Amino acid sequence: MSNGIANFIQWVMTMPTDNDARTATYSPGLDGVLAGETALCHVDEGEGGLRYRGYAVSDLAGRARFEEVAYLLFFGKLPTRSELQDFTTQFAAGCMLPGPVEAFLGVVPPGAHPMDILRTSVSLLGMADPDASDCSHDANLRKAIRLMGQIPLVIATAYRLINGKAPVRPQADLSFAENILYLLTDRRDGETTKAMAQVLDVSLTLYAEHEFNASTFSARVTASTMTDMHSAITSAIGTLKGPLHGGANEAVAEMFCEIETAERAEQWVRESLAKKQRIMGFGHRVLKKGDSRSAIIQQHAESLGRICYDHRWYEIAATIDRVVQQEKGLYPNLDFYTAVAYLLMGIPRELYTPVFVCSRITGWCAHVIEQQDHNRLIRPRALYTGPAAREYLPFDLRS
C-alpha cells in the first residue's frame, strides 16, 4: 500500500463524527488535508515533479501534442495513432456552438468580464447538450470532448464580436494549439507562427491538470451531488475567476508592461520589495521549493523571444526572477514565464485566464468523470466558533 493511500485511510478513520467535530484537528484553508483520492495527477516536489497518470509532465511537454495529453487524462493512457485520429475526429465534430449560445454572445455588453461570459456560456451549453441529463461514464466523456472544442470557440467569438471583428471557424488542418492562436490572433502561416503554436501547446500541457486546486475541488464538490457535467464546470470557472486562484499570468504581463524596459526592471522590483508590495508570479500554495513547470516554460519563452527577435519581455522577467530569488528566496511559478510567451504571441491580456480554461477543461472534466464513477457526496464538517447554547426568550424578556 502506498504512503498516500495509507495516509488517506488513516485520515478517514479519524474523521469527526457528529459528536466529536469540535475535537478534530482544524487546518485553515484545508492546508495539507487529504480530501480525496485521484489517479489523474501526482504533485511531487521531489525528483519526479508533476505527473499525469504516471507520466512526468517534463516528458509530455513538447513531445506529446496537447490532444494526446487530453486523451491521456480522459481515457487513462496515451493514444495509438488510430486512437488519436478517432479522438480528433470526434473532437472536431463537436467544435460548434448551438444557436442560443451564439445569440447570447452576440448581445454581450462590451464591458463584460471574459470569465463571466465563459461561465454563462458553459451553463447555456449544458442546456443544449444532447447528453445533458446523462451522468454515465460514456456520456460524461462525450460532454468533456465537446467542451474541449466549444470553449475556445466561445472565448474567441465573444472577443471578436465585442471588438467589431467577424467570428472565424476552427480549421481542420490545424492542431488544437494552432487553432487557438488562429482564433485569437488571426495568425496561421509562417515559421514564427508555427513556433508560437508549439510553445502554446507546451503551456497547455503544463496547465492541463494540478490535483485538488481550488477550481478542481469546486468541480468535484459540485459533481459529488451527481449533478450534470456543465454545472460542475460552471462552478470551476466561477472559482477560477477569483484573483487568489486565477489571473496571475495576466497580472504578471501587466507588471512587465508597466516596467516597459529591461533597464528599469531591477530598480522597479527593488522599490516594490522595499514597499512590501507583492511581486506577481512567485510562490505556490503547494510547491514551496519551486514549480518544476516554470523551468520548462522559461526555456521555451526564451527560445521564442529569439525566434521573434524580441528579447525585451524575457530580459525583464529574468531580472525580476534573479532579484526576487536573491531578496526573498521565492521561485517563479508557471504563470511567470508563461506571461512572456503570451505577450510574444500577441494573445490579448484579458484572455490569458480564459486560455488557461482551454487547457484546464481537460483536467476538470477528468476529475468530474472520476468523481462520478466512484462517487461519495463530499460533505466535510465545520469547527463551530459561535455562542454556547442559549435559551429563547419572548420579546418582553429580552433586554
Could you tell me if 202 and 82 lie in one domain? yes
Provide the pLDDT for residue 93: 87
pLDDT, tens only, 262-286: 999 999 999 999 999 999 999 766 6
Based on the fold, state whether residues 227 and 271 are members of the same structural domain: no
pLDDT score of 4 more than 60: no
pLDDT at 320: 96
Q: Which member of 210, 230, 284, 367 is catalytic? A: 284
335: annotated active-site residue: yes
| Active-site pick, 210, 300, 335, 367 | 335
Same-domain check for residues 230 and 114: yes
Q: How many domains does the chain have?
A: 2
Question: What phi and psi, each to the nearest 5 degrees, are found at residue 56?
Answer: -65, 135
User: Do the domain assignments include residue 319?
Assistant: yes
Same structural domain, 89 and 230: yes
Structural contact between residues 98 and 128, judged by C-beta atoms closer than 8 angstroms: yes
266 and 193 assigned to the same domain: no
| pLDDT given for residue 387 in this prediction | 96
Residue 55, phi then psi, degrees to nearest 5: -85, 130
* Residue spans of alpha helices (H) in 94-165: 99-105, 114-128, 137-162
Residue 112 structural domain? 51-244+353-373
- 82 and 147 inside one domain: yes
Mean pLDDT of the chain: 91
284 counts as catalytic:
yes
pLDDT at 18 over 80: no
Predicted local confidence at residue 11, as pLDDT: 44
Instruction: Please check whether residue 384 lies inside any domain of the structure.
Output: no
Given a cut of 50, whether residue 333 has pLDDT beyond it is: yes
How confident is the model over 101-107, as a mean pLDDT? 96
Q: pTM for this one?
A: 0.91
Contact between 146 and 129 under an 8 Å Cβ cutoff? The reply is yes
Shared domain for 261 and 174, answered yes or no, is no
Q: Could you tell me if residue 19 is inside a domain?
A: no
If asked whether residues 147 and 175 sit together in one domain, one would say yes
